[in-house]
Structure 1
Amino acid sequence: MAEDGRADPTDRQAMFLTYTGMETDLIFTQGVALPGFAAFALLETPEGRERIQTYYRDLIAIGAQYGLGVILESPTWVAHRDRAAALGYGAEALAALNRQAIDQMCAARTLYGDLPTLISANIGPRFDAYAPQGRMSVAEADDYHSEQIAVLAQTQVDLLSGYTLACSNEASGIVRAAKQRDLPVVIAFTVETDGRLPTGETLQDAIQTVDAATGGYAAYFMINCAHPDHFAETLEDAPWMQRLRGVVANASRCSHAELDDAQELDAGDPVALAQDLSAIARRFAQISVLGGCCGTDMRHLAEIAKQAPKDRAVTPPG
């Protein structure tokens, strides 16, 4: 716990719960249209804001029930220049929505949070995460993502989280941009069914490359948008693994290509997914963030929280 009573994103002694599956849940189970996967557009209407608020309220309630801290993720994964411009959003409107997203999470923390609750600004890749056609240099990634990060740095965000990243260069650029603004940052890589990033990099190589390029500034690394079956066998008792501190998993065992072509949601088995994540967290004591990504909903999150190691439960501040 930090001195000011807030949860510490680098605290290995506490277990946190997080959720990044809102988009697939909205599209496939609630019938909400999200062109370009742009959940941030929901912030423009009272109904949309209420939908987002419901996820925050429910996640915090699950965390409180099982003694886990909560990391709230903003709906800003594609709220950056190129992907938002394709949907008709200019820089001024985009900046306002990024700020609004953080304000809503801060309000939710005040309304519902009895246990430590972190506010995370969610940043996604510039290009398609599963087919990264644009291989940016570290400097190019720094320059590109600095636009969104500069806006978020002016809010009450606790940390930045770069999610579903497919290459070490883009991750390094995000970390470098966060470092320039003295913001804690987390990097979550996505992997294919062979446990490698879409670029072919191993998790070990990607993590070590980012650390080498940024002086080890990232608070920690995670895996997201993949089923545990895809990467569990690549995890090992080795020094580099100490930098891997979280897993935010897909419900489905399908590959990214199969999921892209799917017409129906594959929600998998919530109990089995929770068992897989619990096994990873028990095997590697540094794993302190668990959660659900594509295909998951609050059923999955409740099971994950229920089965998470309880020797690292959090306590209310104060």
Structure 2
Amino acid sequence: MTRILPISDQGAVEAALEVLRDGKPVALPTETVYGLAADATNPEAITSIYETKGRPRFNPLISHVADIEMAKAQVSFSPLAEQLAATFWPGPLTLVLPLSETSTIHPLATAGLSTAAVRMPEGFSRQLIAGFGRPLAAPSANRSGRVSPTTAQHVADDLGGRIDLILDGGRCRVGLESTILAVDGAQLRLLRPGGIPVELIEEATGKPVERSPSQSTGDSIIAPGMLASHYAPNAGVRLDATEVGPGEAVIRFGGERLAGEDNAIAVLDLSPRGDLREAAANLFDMLKRADATGATGIAVAPIPDQGLGEAINDRLRRAAAPRP
């Protein structure tokens, strides 16, 4: 039986710590999406994440930290990495850095790589990590390859009965997973677009961010979210739609109607006012809502590709990719 506790509950933190100390995963809210968190230093705990999600073990996990000291005990920071952490942490930025000699992150969490993906989240999850005293590996709290959860109910719908505890912190503020950057000395490479637009990173550092070929092909999995097919609802997803086909639900943007929309199973708008931040926060919820209508397909209108639109379109392309 899965318990759901609001994070405002006085016993929520201790209940979560008890499950984590027992080597089991807990679903918890972050500013990006809900994560399925377990002890990143414990192989049994990490195995429980992979088994609960049905996640391939070659797909590494992000280790979440409470502060920069905890991060530096696990990975080696270049001056550029330190600048990025100082600018964007806590927040939706993950850095892929070389493991330090003192690292206690288990190789199961890194998929045996010589690097680890680390992030400092905002709010309640960061406080919980500080109370636990060790990094928490925390991929999204859903079955592998499916739409990421942005509410506790999303988690319950997907993983209810598979985990002991879901902590309810309301709807996630950002609604998209973190941006993932590989930092190699003074060079930056984008592995996954996410909650921080690349333009802000380039502005803050004065350095260009290279787009990795593997980011779009998924041929080399060195960070989460790089599989070609990911974030997928049950219904097929059709992108850049300008008209509605038989049996389709519609996800549009900016209030722009699609031809034949009156015959759609359902019509949802990521942001009627054309706000990409609002669209990002709504994306996964609307994919789930469209899927729940029983539509045979989901027609998604074109989304601008600048700013957060890059991350939105990345998720949509993977949702629409052929299923393995």
Q: Given the two structures, how large is their TM-score scaled by the length of structure 1?
A: 0.30
Q: Give the number of the structure whose alpha-carbon radius of gyration is greater.
A: 2
Q: Which has the higher contact order (CA 8 A, sep 6+)?
A: 1
TM-score by length of 2: 0.30
